[in-house]
Structure 1
Amino acid sequence: MGFAAVKLQPAMAQASRPLAGRRIVVTRAREQAGDLVQALTALGADVVAAPTIRIEPLADLAPLRAALADLARYQWIVFTSQNTVRVVCDRLPEWGLEPRALTRVAVAAIGPATAAALAERGVAAALVPERFVAEAVVEEMVRRGDVRGKRILVPRALEARDALPEGLRARGAVVDVIPVYATVRDPGDGSRLARDIVAGQIDAITFTSSSTVRHFVDLVGREAATSGRFAAAAIGPVTAATARELGIPVPIEADEYAVPGLVDALVRHFGEAGRGRGRGRGDV
């Protein structure tokens, strides 16, 4: 199946391990979960890796290849996630291109992790909004000048929200949206995790995208997902809204829409839950 507890070292000072004894589930795709797993483990958490999604590049990337071959007609290319960076940049050598070819236009990235993924490939993002959501890209582009008539390329997930292209088009931009990957359910068996949830053996479950929420419900079933027996921790407002729409209460929401912000929110939540009362998995 797809989940396993990460073993911890013997006890350390509680002050440096504020999540000690807390069993926290990471639902992120297996290849992306490392930074969150490591951060939580370092703070004392008993981490359960239960990937609910898998990233699958689309079989037909001809539209992307055609757009990149004629990149000079665009003023901007917007990368909405690390996944988009990987899929696009991994294909460039096959097409006789290098990542630095992307620097022929201005590059925008949603979030520092996306910007870092670009930087690792030699591409500097000219725009990284302070809020790591699509709407903030629109606001920042408009703040920098009129986008009317500007051509903007947006490679993205097949099932991504339309807030970014619609927001730009509403302000007169010409936006080409090209799906490059799909987010699908991880094939793992969620029955054990579902039993642990219902038995009150899970303190928190982290969600880093709307797709992790939707496929979590598919993985463990609606009864366990909406049982209220764990604290749902969302990386940002879009993810939190999806969870609530599906009947999952969200008591933990990151102020900074990135992994460090999610970790900080978990520490705050369990620090408050642990003060002045006994510790138990009902304290979520």
Structure 2
Amino acid sequence: MIPAHSLQNKTVMIPRGKAHAKSFSELVARNGGIPVEIPLIAFQPVAASEKLLKTLANLHTYDWIIFTSNVTVETFYSFLKKGQALLPKIAVIGEKTKEVLEDMGETVDFVPDEYVAEGFVDEFLPHVNHGERILIPKGNLARDYISAALKEKGAIADEIIIYETFMPDESRGKLVKMLSEESLDILTFTSPSTIDHFMKIVEENQLRDKLEHCIVACIGPVSKRKAEQRGLKVHAMPEKYTVEDMLKSVANFINIGG
């Protein structure tokens, strides 16, 4: 648990869209912060191409399917016919992704201790045999780190893009206004894409000097690297890559007088 009131009535930017922001906002409010939802990322399924439909029809030919996020799970299932079972074994990154699948009645066969691609690969590779077929549904901006590592091990890794990532237009004006007024105290980032979209707006509107008073928190090392590449100073990052732990790391930073 995060100590009560640990966020000290500070405004916290929630970068997720409505469908995924609720639990994040509730956690901020419960712990003494003021959540401000400014979605920096949104998702839309791709058109069902012949390749995608063929892949779905041949799920039974795969040994594993890897889901890297809730969005990947939800989008993938939106393409499946009602009652179509997932026949391969399932591997996921993240406890929340596992919970979403289990709520759907699926059995998850592998969850790593570390919730990033690098940690996933280190822990998952011993479970993979040469020649096994592995399917990786993904977004258009996702890295190919997992598939490259699997291919190096001798597996057949097929990536299929099932959704596109974009910046919601309605967030632009709200973000510019709140940054201009210095109304945001804590900036949280949950992916490299949220950072790219945020910094694009900052740079287009010459607002970089308005970030100097902000506490910047990233959910994990990949996002932290992206933030630093874009010129942000990162003040907080958790050891366990979850939203709750990210907020704990912010509370710890505030508590030690950051």
The answer to whether TM tops 0.5 is yes
What is residue 260 of structure 1 aligned with on the other side?
A: 244
What is residue 151 of structure 1 aligned with on the other side?
A: 133
Tell me which of 46, 64, 67 is aligned to 2:55: 67
Question: Would the aligned equivalents of 2:39 and 2:171 in 1 still touch at CA under 8 Å?
Answer: no
Tell me which of 165, 179, 203 is aligned to 2:161: 179
- Whole-angstrom distance in 2 between the partners of 1:219 and 1:52: 10
2:26 is aligned with 1:38: yes
- Offset, 1:212: 0.8
- Whole-angstrom distance in 2 between the partners of 1:80 and 1:225: 32
Q: Please give the secondary structure, in 2, of the residue aligned with 1:59.
A: coil
What is residue 256 of structure 2 aligned with on the other side?
A: 272
Name whichever of 223-232 and 171-180 sits farther off.
223-232
Question: Would the aligned equivalents of 2:40 and 2:171 in 1 still touch at CA under 8 Å?
Answer: no
Tell me which of 84, 94, 105 is aligned to 2:72: 84
Question: Would the aligned equivalents of 2:38 and 2:174 in 1 still touch at CA under 8 Å?
Answer: no
Q: Please give the secondary structure, in 1, of the residue aligned with 2:90.
A: strand
What is residue 230 of structure 2 aligned with on the other side?
A: 246
What is residue 192 of structure 2 aligned with on the other side?
A: 210
Q: 1:122 to 1:245 in 2, by over 3 A?
A: same
Tell me which of 82, 91, 95 is aligned to 1:112: 95
- List runs of 5+ in structure 2 lacking aligned partners: none
Tell me which of 81, 85, 104 is aligned to 1:121: 104
Task: Say what the alpha-carbon RMSD is for the aligned residues.
Answer: 1.8
Of the two, which has the highest radius of gyration?
A: 1
- TM-score normalised per structure 2: 0.91
- Whole-angstrom distance in 2 between the partners of 1:131 and 1:38: 25
- List runs of 5+ in structure 1 lacking aligned partners: 1-14, 274-283
What is residue 147 of structure 2 aligned with on the other side?
A: 165
Q: Please give the secondary structure, in 2, of the residue aligned with 1:16.
A: coil
Query: Map of 1:6-45 to 2, 5 A cutoff?
Result: 16-45=4-33
Q: 2:75 corresponds to which letter in structure 1?
A: V
- Offset, 1:245: 0.8
- Offset, 1:232: 1.2
What is residue 217 of structure 2 aligned with on the other side?
A: 233
How many equivalent residue pairs?
254
Question: Would the aligned equivalents of 1:154 and 1:177 in 2 still touch at CA under 8 Å?
Answer: yes
- Offset, 1:148: 1.6
2:146 is aligned with 1:132: no
- Offset, 1:249: 1.1
Q: Please give the secondary structure, in 1, of the residue aligned with 2:115.
A: coil
- Offset, 1:216: 1.1
Deviations 1:224-267 (A, max 9, x none): 25743311110000011111111111111121111121121122
2:38 is aligned with 1:50: yes
Q: 1:201 corresponds to which letter in structure 2?
A: S
